[in-house]
């Protein structure tokens, strides 16, 4: 290696990792057509540059610790693909990313083994890239301080700490990045000079603060394990753990060093106490209860029991979860929030075998690397090993590596912990040729298919943008046909085309209606477990006058998403239109069981069957108070509310009822304050409807009939 090559490679790698975690390998980068195409173009340039460089400098191929596990993983995926042919498109999508990570592994190992990179420089590149993530994370905190904290201080909304996502867009993925970077920074800092250690120390404190605010308990546990592993390794870096060694080492340090370490220890205790407080409060935070994942874990175990040998196929867990849970209202998830459970569900016993082999090989290799390393190298290696431990523990309880940026972050830590460095014995003979053909062939296949997919995805996004900017829904749907012809097994293209044709049909284009129906029929054939396809197909068939088929499709939708009151209500309407009053009443009853306040909808009174059911409906305390106020029974409303309010969630409807009670008493200022709270916490269409009704009542009380009418229109639109 020339003296210029190493710094240049490190600078380019740092820039590439910064782009990766800032945009390129995030969900934003994957779903934004221009960024996705740019990423593929950069990947072509980087891979071509690496291959040219290694040829000109005469690099040799080396065996890697994961050669055998990689082959076992590919065999497991292949077996699962053969036994789950109906899901081949999803499986190949997941396989592309698996092969990408394999290609990155071989490229990085190649650079370390041939001396183009040193272990600490690879780790340093990711730590430097992490400064961008830190900056954006704290900018989000600044925004919270400027916008949300004043509302908290004014009593408008309840106190709740922010959960930053930074460039990664989600607190859980941010925590997965930080929990790897923190141990890597410790390893880099051990080999750095004093100023470098000071800067890294500041970055570490900021990273831990940001990690705590993510409320990711799996990442907190991963960090504790990482710090434990790092501490044990550093105490034993010279080959043995001596309980008296720390005391003797402390006595040899200057007062300045002792002061620095004491301050760091105090900060550590403060952060641990903060972590404990956040852990306790997170158990009662909305959307953070422990029991929310038990259903997902149970689905994974059920999927494994149904297909224990080879699973349901790579990247198919989302389909299994849709089959097991009502979506909506439950949120779709593409993974089981646990690597072992996800592997069991998607790849079965053969996948669990590959996972077990990988863990054994990784552990044995790290032990061998540690024993062979010099004391200086151990200081760096300890950080890499701790980062791998943190990544592994976190992924027992979550799976943020579904985002490529996080998977690549973990890959950097794994390479730093396992890769052979300069001096390793290169391959020779047929093994060299086999490795070269395999790795280069893998990259060629990845780049060709990746570019092909990115180009057609650009056409797909352009068609949607055309529809948005012109309102020419038929023209946009026809533009999608080229994409569908190229990749007919991609279900999302069919549902988008059906939606566009459906929009055109809703504007009176009769020719678009059968096309919309045809597109949705193709979609539900490919993805029968997602209720929204059946719902829209039912609506289109009803519009076409095919009421029998529309009712049948709506039954399919309700079967897949039985916990959605709107779907039950719609099914009741379809059944009632068919004269099936018994079935209609059953559907309406189910809608009321899910949403008792549905009787307050204007549409409810439009049906005699529904009107007869109103007296039997058990409305919420919010709705009962609302109706009492409507009939000027203020004292009854206040008595009811005083009794019920302590046990109610402080959501939009809660604040609206409080506003109406204040308004009934002539307290306009309190009413306005409560309505601001209702708007601030609104997160669902029902929430926004309640807030709009409250605004309408306040506007009417002030004599502004126009504003009141507009607010009521907004409320109706929210729940139509």
φ, ψ for residue 62 (rounded to 5)?
Answer: -125, 150
29-44 mean pLDDT: 94
SS3 string, 266-316, reads HHHHHHHHHHHHHHHHHCCCCCCCHHHHHHHHHHHHHHHHHCCCCCCCCCC
**Lowest mean pLDDT across 90-99, 128-137, 705-714:** 705-714
The structure tokens 């009141």 sit at: 708
604-629 mean pLDDT: 77
Model pLDDT, residue 3: 56
Give 327's pLDDT tier (boundaries 50, 70, 90). Answer: confident
Residues 6+ apart with CB under 8 A from 430: none
Both tokens of 331, joined, read: 């949120």
Cα–Cα distance measured from residue 686 to residue 50, given in angstroms and rounded to the nearest whole number: 55
Give just the sign of the alpha carbon dihedral 136, 138, 139, 143: positive
DSSP 427: P
**Lowest mean pLDDT across 8-12, 141-145, 292-296:** 292-296
Q: Among candidates 38, 14, 48, which has minimal Cα distance to 131? A: 14
pLDDT in tens, 302-311: 999 999 999 9
Residue 63, Cβ neighbours under 10 Å: how many? 16
pLDDT above 70 for 291:
no
Both tokens of 695, joined, read: 């605004």
pLDDT above 60 for 114:
yes
Cα–Cα distance measured from residue 81 to residue 537, given in angstroms and rounded to the nearest whole number: 30
Both tokens of 479, joined, read: 């533009």
Higher-confidence residue: 641 or 443?
A: 443
DSSP string, 19-86: HIIIIITSHHHHHSHHHHHHHHHHHHHHHHHHHHHHHHTT---B--TTHHHHHHHHHHHHHHHHHTGG
Measured at the alpha carbon of residue 38, what is the angle toward residues 35 and 43, in degrees to the nearest 5? 125
Residues 6+ apart with CB under 8 A from 309: 83, 348, 349, 350
453-462 mean pLDDT: 95
Model pLDDT, residue 522: 96
What is the pLDDT of the chain when averaged over all its residues? 87
Higher-confidence residue: 269 or 373?
A: 373
Higher-confidence residue: 621 or 528?
A: 528
pLDDT above 90 as % of the chain = 53
Under 8 Å between Cβ of 305 and 513:
no
Cα–Cα distance measured from residue 340 to residue 343, given in angstroms and rounded to the nearest whole number: 5
Model pLDDT, residue 146: 84
Q: Say how far residue 508 (Cα) sits from the centre of its chain.
A: 39
pLDDT above 60 for 278:
no
Classify residue 236 by burial, with Cβ atoms within 10 Å: 0-12, 13-18, 19+.
Answer: middle
Residue 527, Cβ neighbours under 10 Å: how many? 18
CA dihedral (96, 349, 219, 228) in degrees, to 10, reads -120
Under 8 Å between Cβ of 316 and 83:
no
SS3 string, 47-64, reads HHHHHHHHHHCCCCCECC
**pTM of structure:** 0.85
Model pLDDT, residue 257: 61
Q: Say how far residue 451 (Cα) sits from the centre of its chain.
A: 25
pLDDT above 80 for 602:
no
Higher-confidence residue: 196 or 172?
A: 172
356-369 mean pLDDT: 94
pLDDT in tens, 552-596: 999 999 999 999 999 999 999 999 988 899 999 999 989 888 888
pLDDT above 60 for 496:
yes
pLDDT above 70 as % of the chain = 89
pLDDT in tens, 162-192: 889 999 989 999 999 999 999 999 988 877 6
275-300 mean pLDDT: 63
Give 538's pLDDT tier (boundaries 50, 70, 90). Answer: very high
Under 8 Å between Cβ of 656 and 672:
no
Both tokens of 481, joined, read: 């046909």
**Lowest mean pLDDT across 130-134, 419-423, 568-572:** 419-423
SS3 238: coil
Both tokens of 488, joined, read: 């007919």
Model pLDDT, residue 18: 95
pLDDT above 80 for 616:
no
Both tokens of 282, joined, read: 């997170």
How far apart, in Å, are the Cα atoms of 473 and each of 238, 519, 528?
70, 14, 25
Higher-confidence residue: 677 or 131?
A: 131
SS3 127: helix
Q: Among candidates 665, 659, 689, which has minimal Cα distance to 677? A: 659
pLDDT in tens, 639-691: 888 888 787 777 888 888 888 888 888 888 888 888 888 888 787 888 888 88
Cα–Cα distance measured from residue 439 to residue 100, given in angstroms and rounded to the nearest whole number: 11
35-48 mean pLDDT: 95
Give 260's pLDDT tier (boundaries 50, 70, 90). Answer: low
Model pLDDT, residue 642: 81
Residues in the chain, how many?
720
pLDDT in tens, 385-400: 999 999 999 999 999 9
Both tokens of 689, joined, read: 């409807």
pLDDT in tens, 49-74: 999 999 998 899 999 999 999 999 99
Higher-confidence residue: 201 or 477?
A: 477
pLDDT above 70 for 503:
yes
CA dihedral (188, 189, 190, 194) in degrees, to 10, reads 140
Beta strand ranges found along 317-373 (DSSP E) = none
Model pLDDT, residue 337: 92
Q: Among candidates 460, 466, 488, which has minimal Cα distance to 34? A: 460
Model pLDDT, residue 569: 92
Give 203's pLDDT tier (boundaries 50, 70, 90). Answer: confident
Quick one: the chain helix, strand, coil %, rounded to 5?
80, 0, 20
How far apart, in Å, are the Cα atoms of 409 and each of 13, 101, 194, 363, 401?
13, 10, 27, 19, 9
SS3 426: strand
Model pLDDT, residue 27: 92
């Amino acid at each position: 290696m020339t003296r210029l090559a190493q710094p240049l490679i490190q600078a380019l790698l740092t820039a590439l990792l910064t782009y990766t975690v800032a945009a390129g390998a995030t969900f934003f980068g994957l779903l934004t057509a221009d960024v996705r195409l740019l990423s593929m173009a950069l990947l072509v340039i980087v891979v071509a540059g690496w291959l040219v460089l290694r040829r000109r400098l005469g690099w040799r191929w080396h065996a890697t610790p994961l050669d055998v596990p990689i082959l076992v993983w590919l065999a497991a995926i292949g077996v699962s693909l053969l036994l789950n042919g109906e899901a081949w498109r999803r499986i190949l999508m997941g396989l592309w990313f698996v092969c990408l990570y394999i290609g990155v592994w071989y490229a990085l190992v190649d650079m370390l083994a041939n001396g183009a990179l040193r272990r600490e420089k690879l780790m340093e590149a990711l730590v430097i890239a992490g400064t961008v993530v830190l900056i954006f994370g704290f900018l989000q905190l600044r925004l919270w301080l400027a916008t949300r904290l004043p509302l908290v201080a004014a009593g408008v909304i309840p106190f709740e700490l922010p959960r930053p996502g930074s460039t990664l867009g989600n607190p859980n993925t941010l925590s997965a990045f930080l929990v790897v970077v923190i141990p890597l920074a410790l390893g880099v800092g051990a080999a750095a000079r004093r100023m470098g250690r000071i800067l890294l120390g500041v970055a570490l404190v900021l990273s831990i603060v940001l990690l705590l605010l993510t409320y990711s308990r799996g990442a907190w546990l991963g960090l504790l394990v990482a710090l434990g592993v790092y501490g044990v390794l550093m105490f034993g870096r010279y080959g043995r753990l001596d309980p008296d060694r720390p005391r003797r080492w402390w006595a040899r340090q200057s007062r300045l060093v002792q002061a620095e370490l004491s301050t760091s220890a105090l900060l550590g205790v403060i952060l641990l106490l903060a972590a404990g407080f956040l852990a306790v409060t997170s158990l009662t935070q909305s959307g953070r209860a422990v029991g929310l994942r038990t259903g997902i874990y149970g689905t994974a175990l059920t999927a494994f029991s149904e297909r224990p040998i080879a699973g349901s196929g790579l990247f198919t867990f989302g389909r299994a979860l849709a089959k097991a849970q009502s979506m909506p209202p439950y949120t779709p998830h593409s993974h089981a929030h646990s690597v072992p459970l996800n592997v069991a569900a998607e790849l079965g016993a053969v996948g669990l075998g590959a996972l077990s082999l990988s863990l054994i090989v990784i552990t044995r290799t790290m032990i061998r690397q540690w024993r062979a390393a010099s004391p200086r190298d151990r200081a760096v290696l300890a950080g890499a090993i701790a980062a791998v431990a943190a990544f592994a523990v976190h992924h027992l309880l979550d799976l943020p590596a579904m985002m490529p940026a996080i998977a690549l972050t973990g890959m950097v830590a794994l390479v730093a912990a396992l890769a052979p460095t300069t001096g390793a014995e290169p391959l020779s003979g047929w093994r060299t040729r086999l490795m070269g053909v395999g790795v280069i062939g893998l990259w060629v296949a990845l780049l060709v298919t990746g570019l092909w997919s990115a180009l057609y995805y650009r056409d797909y996004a352009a068609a949607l943008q055309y529809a948005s900017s012109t309102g020419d829904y038929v023209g946009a749907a026809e533009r999608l046909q080229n994409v569908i012809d190229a990749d007919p097994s991609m279900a999302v293209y069919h549902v988008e085309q059906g939606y566009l044709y459906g929009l055109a049909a809703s504007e009176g284009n009769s020719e678009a209606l059968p096309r919309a129906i045809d597109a949705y029929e193709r979609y539900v054939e490919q993805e029968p477990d997602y209720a929204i396809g059946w719902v829209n197909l039912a609506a289109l068939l009803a519009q076409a006058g095919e009421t029998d088929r529309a009712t049948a499709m709506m039954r399919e939708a309700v079967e897949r998403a039985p916990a959605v009151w709107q779907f039950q209500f719609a099914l009741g309407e379809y059944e009632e239109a068919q004269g099936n009053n018994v079935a209609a009443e059953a559907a309406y009853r189910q809608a009321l069981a899910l949403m008792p306040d549905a009787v307050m909808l204007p549409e409810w009174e439009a049906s005699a069957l529904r009107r007869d059911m109103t007296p039997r409906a058990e409305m919420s305390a919010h709705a009962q108070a609302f109706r009492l106020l409507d009939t000027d029974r203020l004292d009854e409303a206040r008595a009811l509310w005083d009794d019920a309010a302590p046990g109610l969630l402080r959501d939009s409807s809660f604040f609206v009822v409080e506003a109406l009670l204040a308004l009934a008493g002539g307290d306009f200022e309190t009413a306005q304050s409560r309505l601001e709270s209702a708007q601030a916490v609104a997160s669902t269409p029902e929430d926004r409807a309640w807030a709009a009704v409250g605004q309408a009542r306040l506007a009417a009380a002030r004599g502004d009939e126009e504003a009141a009418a507009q607010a009521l229109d907004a409320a109706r639109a929210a729940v139509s």
